Structure 1
Amino acid sequence: MKAYPYPLLKPPSFVWDKSAVPAEPKVNEWIQTLDPTQAEAYDWTRYDVAILGVPLSRSSISASAASENPDALRRAWKYFTTYNLDCDEDLSDLRVVDLGDVRQNVTDIQQCHRNIREAMFHMRTHHPHMMPVSMGGDHSITAMLVKGWNDAHPQERIGILQMDTHFDLRDLTDNGPSNGTPIRNLIESGVVKGEDVHNIGLHGFFNARSLKTYADEVGVRYTTMQQARKRGLEPTVRKALEQLAAKVDTIYVTVDMDVLDISYGPGVPASTPGGMRSDELFEAVYLAGKHPKVKAMDLVCLDPFKDRGEATVKTAVHTMLTFLTGFKQREK
């Protein structure tokens, strides 16, 4: 298989016109896209962040077109400037490249998962200095991305900061490698220890008691939305990052967009009442982006076909850009 820029990736399905980039660019004018004919000649040391699309949703428990999300986010870049007024920070100095999408098999989910794992392995092998930001896809991709990281960095202890309404600890024997099992998949495969997972955003009537029992048995840390609001979201996130950083070498941040309240995330297949507001999610990922041990991030479980007025898609792009704002300020 021809490497682009290494195996199991293909170029984005469309590329924004960058023939005339203004002094104050929009995000679609700022994020670079590789020329497939010139991929081998690129100076990869120039880039700080790699965007990766993972268009898989066949492994979703809820009916979902989350496979369409990577392109939906790319198309929504046109709405955003690179300047974050809240932080007085311009992202245009960051060098960000869109590597395209992981190749998917039409019917074989396990092959899709192998491709995702191998793509992350190659990314870390070829470009270990870049921050990977992955656009899913359903939440099953997280287990494969983390396993790919582990393949490339077997000496590292990996922790997970999870923003989610669900534990995602369903039993693999009857749920398989679905979007309901990625965290259990990582724990039972020995890639991540239960005590190295911290979930923020659980609430209400959307998790079975048996999942809480399993979480307690394996030592998963979690903070419900009710607890986070009583303690304050910022101190909750800071404490989770501090606890993880004290034990692990790498913190992987995974944002399941179903962490949002249904009114803020109408494009989420498993949307629920009682979740995070969008501004709370932005605060959480900003703090994560600033932390030196946070080395990768993904956004998952967004179905643009169910969205209303691109509300959830725009929120996801804002989430990604806010994370990168924190990352840039960390670099300073």
Structure 2
Amino acid sequence: MSGLTAPPEWDGPSTDPNDEQFGDVIEGTTLDAATDYDAVLVGEPYDGAVIGRKGAHEGPEAIRRELAGTKTHHVDRGAVDAIGDLGNVEIPDDCVEGVQFAVQETVTAIYDAGAFPVFLGGDNSLTFPNAAPLLTDGTLGALSFDAHLDCRAVRDDPTSGTPYRQLHEAGLDAFAVVGARHFETSTAYHEYVAEQGGHVVTPETVESDPKAAVDEALDSMDSVDSIYVSLDLDVLEAAAAPGVSAPTPGGLTTRELFEMLSHVAAHDRVAGFEVVECAPPLDDGFRTARVAARAVAHFLGGLEVSR
């Protein structure tokens, strides 16, 4: 068993034949054919580990819907194509640890098939099983766009706040967080990241020069073989992405985020990407889902540069 549901049917909603949209070019596929594509989408409808407000289990469907109506053309790089969809990971009715174990089995098979996965979350607890399989193929760095550090210690069960502690304990070699907010990060967790050799880039640094900010994060992990990239949508200013578990003021702008995602995706060491914490029940007029879809589009546009 693949641990994946059948992929959805894709269709671009525009009636203009010149409007090529992602819904027109994304194709349902299987693990056997996954390497025919530059990247494959993988939905993860789960929010059982969220510390705050729930709703991210509806994220994959909403992101796909908004992406289907997004045009494929990037002004500087041309059109994005060659994208597949593997469907959703089957989520068991289990404790968080059990869910992480099951997801990791499926994700391992995706990497083993030679695919480049783009995970549509879902909550941040699945960052651990999404990235952990890469630890077996050499040294790994994790680049997190997030308002928080998410390195809490696991107590009774993992949560959306524990994935990077879990990855460090599993052997993560480098870690950087871009967009971590002042007064959102406990001193103990900031010190933990520093003890692990991690690097934190604040929104103020991003505002000065987004590309330089992401290069600063990448330079801090220049010795690793591969890099896993995670986008928690709460890294954005709350007005831009209200439909997340923990929206807060003082975040990144969408333009800053899109510029950085395009830039980091072009680095050939990047091995996987995820968008997490899109919670449609908490959203305002699909605003957050639309931002998530555009984030995926910008990442895919940058990814094609390195393929």
Q: TM-score, with normalisation over the residues of structure 1?
A: 0.87
SS in 1 for 2:182: coil
1:269 corresponds to 2:269: no
1:103 corresponds to 2:103: no
Matches of 1:279 and 1:294, distance apart in 2: 21
Q: Pick from 270, 283, 286: which aligns with 2:262?
A: 286
Matches of 1:134 and 1:114, distance apart in 2: 16
Deviations 1:98-133 (A, max 9, x none): 10011112343222211210111101112x1x3211
Aligned to 1:89: 78
Aligned to 1:76: 66
Matches of 1:141 and 1:44, distance apart in 2: 21
SS in 2 for 1:160: strand
Q: Using a 3 Å threshold, how does the CA distance of structure 1 residues 284 and 89 change in structure 2: closer, same or farther?
A: same
Matches of 1:227 and 1:52, distance apart in 2: 32
Deviation, structure 1 residue 188: 1.7
Q: Using a 3 Å threshold, how does the CA distance of structure 1 residues 17 and 199 change in structure 2: closer, same or farther?
A: closer
**Over aligned residue pairs, what C-alpha RMSD do you find?**
1.9
Poorly superposed stretches of 4+, deviation over 6 Å: none
Q: Using a 3 Å threshold, how does the CA distance of structure 1 residues 329 and 46 change in structure 2: closer, same or farther?
A: same
1:170 corresponds to 2:157: no
Q: Using a 3 Å threshold, how does the CA distance of structure 1 residues 91 and 17 change in structure 2: closer, same or farther?
A: closer
Q: Using a 3 Å threshold, how does the CA distance of structure 1 residues 44 and 303 change in structure 2: closer, same or farther?
A: closer
Matches of 1:145 and 1:77, distance apart in 2: 21
Contact between 2:10 and 2:26, CA under 8 Å: does it hold in 1? Answer: no
Deviations 1:214-255 (A, max 9, x none): 12222211111123334x2211112222332x2101010000
SS in 2 for 1:213: helix
Name which one, 1 or 2, has greater alpha-carbon Rg.
Answer: 1
Aligned to 1:200: 178
Deviations 1:259-318 (A, max 9, x none): 001011111120100000111110111111111111110000110111111111111110
Q: Using a 3 Å threshold, how does the CA distance of structure 1 residues 188 and 309 change in structure 2: closer, same or farther?
A: same
List alignment gaps of at least 5 residues for structure 2: none
Contact between 1:21 and 1:29, CA under 8 Å: does it hold in 2? Answer: no
Identity value in percent: 29
1:156 corresponds to 2:138: yes
Aligned to 2:121: 136
Aligned to 2:111: 124
1:50 corresponds to 2:40: yes
Deviation, structure 1 residue 45: 4.1
Aligned residue-pair number:
305
| AA partner of residue 288 (structure 1) | V
Q: Using a 3 Å threshold, how does the CA distance of structure 1 residues 61 and 43 change in structure 2: closer, same or farther?
A: closer
Contact between 1:119 and 1:148, CA under 8 Å: does it hold in 2? Answer: no
Q: Using a 3 Å threshold, how does the CA distance of structure 1 residues 140 and 45 change in structure 2: closer, same or farther?
A: closer
Aligned to 1:33: 28
Matches of 1:122 and 1:89, distance apart in 2: 32
Deviations 1:180-209 (A, max 9, x none): 01011101222x03xx10101011221111
Deviation, structure 1 residue 16: 3.0
Q: Using a 3 Å threshold, how does the CA distance of structure 1 residues 89 and 218 change in structure 2: closer, same or farther?
A: same
